[in-house]
Amino acid sequence: MDKQAIAARILELKKDRNATILAHNYQIGEVQDVADFLGDSLGLSIKAAQVEEDVILFCGVHFMAETAAILAPDKTVLTPEPEAGCPMADMIEADELIRWKKDYPGRPVVCYVNTTAAVKAECDICCTSSNALDVVESLDAEEILFAPDKNLAGYVARNTSKTIIPWDGYCYVHNNIHARDVREKMERYPAAEVWVHPECRPEVIDLAHRVLSTGKMISEARTTPSQEIIIGTESGIIYRLQKENPSKLFYPAKELALCANMKKITLRKVLHSLENMEYEVKVAPDVSRRARGAIERMTQIT
C-alpha cells in the first residue's frame, strides 16, 4: 500500500472504530496530516478530557498517552508504538521523588507533565511548558521543588521571586541546541526573530526574542508580523508552522534537533494500531486517581 492508500484506510478505520487521533506537534508530517487534533502537552490533555469518541489513538510519547488515559478513564487509549518513551520523563522515578521530598519537608512539588503517572501521583501539581510560571505563582509557598527539567526550572526561577529547587533532569533534544547553533542562524538570517522552547539551555534562552511552548509557537506564528523566525525546538514542528503559514519562513535553530522517540511513530504503525486495536495504554486505578488530582489542579489554574 502506498502512503495515500494507508492514509485513506486510516480515515475509514477511524470511523469504523469510532476513534479520534490526537497528535503532538513533533510528529512526522504524514502522521500530523491524519490527526483530528494537533497540539502541545497542555492542549492535548485538555482535548483528551473532552473527547466524545470511544477510542483515542494517541500519537506522541508514552507519558502523553498515559495522561490521556488518566483524563479519559472511560475511553480506550491506544499508542501506535509502546516503545516511544521520553528519556527526560525517565530521569526521575517515584521512589526517588519520595526520597527527595523527605529531604525538603513542607515544600510543594511541581512536576512537569513529562513524567510517568507514578511520579505525577507523588506530586502536588503538574505543569506544562505553557503554564509552568503560572503554576509556580499559584502556590502558597516560597520554596518549591521542581522536577524533572532543570532548564524549565531555571527559566521559571528567572521569572519568579520564589526559590525553585530543581531536579537534575533535561531533554537531550533541547539540551543539544547550543548558543553557537542559534548564533550561526542569526548571522545567516539577520531579519529573523528567535523563538525557543523553555526546555532549552539558559544561554540559548538568553538569545531568544520569545520563549514559547510548541502550542504557543503555532498560535503566535499565525499573528506575528515577523516574516522569518528561527525555531529553537524539535524540528518536527517546522512542518506544521510552514504548512499553516506558507508566506512566512521558519528556520530550525538546529536541523538535527530530532526526538527519536517521537519519530518512532509512522503512518503504517497508526494503521496497524487501528486495525488491531493495540497497544492499549492503561494506568493502575490508584495511581491514576492521584495523578489525575495533580493534573486537574493544573488545568484549574490555567
Q: Rounded distance, CA 227 to CA 19, Å? A: 37
Q: Is 116 in the site for ligand 13P (CB under 6 A)?
A: no
What single-letter DSSP state applies at residue 91?
Answer: G
Q: Is 25 in the site for ligand 13P (CB under 6 A)?
A: yes
User: Do strands 210-211 and 228-232 pair parallel, antiparallel, or not at all (unpaired)?
Assistant: unpaired
Binding ligand 13P by CB under 6 A: which of 124, 181, 193, 199? 199
Q: Between 139 and 170, whose beta carbon lies closer to ligand SF4?
A: 170
Q: Least distance (Å) from ligand 13P to the CB of residue 197?
A: 6
User: If you search the block for the grid coordinates 512537569, which residue do you land on?
Assistant: 112
Q: Is 41 in the site for ligand 13P (CB under 6 A)?
A: yes
Residue 261 near which of ligand 13P, ligand SF4, none (CB within 5-8 Å, type-dependent): ligand SF4
Q: What are the residues binding ligand SF4 (CB under 6 A)?
A: 61, 86-88, 114, 171, 173, 234, 259, 261-262
Q: Rounded distance, CA 245 to CA 247, Å? A: 6
Q: Least distance (Å) from ligand 13P to the CB of residue 44?
A: 8
Q: What angle do CA 242, 112, 280 make, to 5 degrees?
A: 80
Residue 40 near which of ligand 13P, ligand SF4, none (CB within 5-8 Å, type-dependent): ligand 13P
Q: Least distance (Å) from ligand 13P to the CB of residue 214?
A: 3
Adjacency order of strands within the sheet including 193-196 = 210-211, 193-196, 228-232, 249-252
Q: Least distance (Å) from ligand SF4 to the CB of residue 27?
A: 11
H or E element: which one contains 69? helix 62-71
Q: Is 40 in the site for ligand 13P (CB under 6 A)?
A: yes
Across 217-247, b (16+ Cβ under 10 Å) vs e yields bbeebeebeeeebbbbbbbbbbbbbeeebee
C-alpha torsion sign, points 216, 257, 133, 292: positive
Residue ranges in 157-196 that form contacts with ligand 13P under rule CB under 6 A: 171
Binding ligand 13P by CB under 6 A: which of 32, 214, 235, 261? 214
Strand partners, 24: 39
- Amino acid identity of residue 35, one-letter, is A
Q: Between 126 and 259, whose beta carbon lies closer to ligand SF4?
A: 259
Q: Between 160 and 219, whose beta carbon lies closer to ligand 13P?
A: 219
Q: Least distance (Å) from ligand 13P to the CB of residue 60?
A: 8
Residues that bind ligand 13P (CB under 6 A): 25, 40-41, 114, 128-129, 171, 199, 213-214, 234
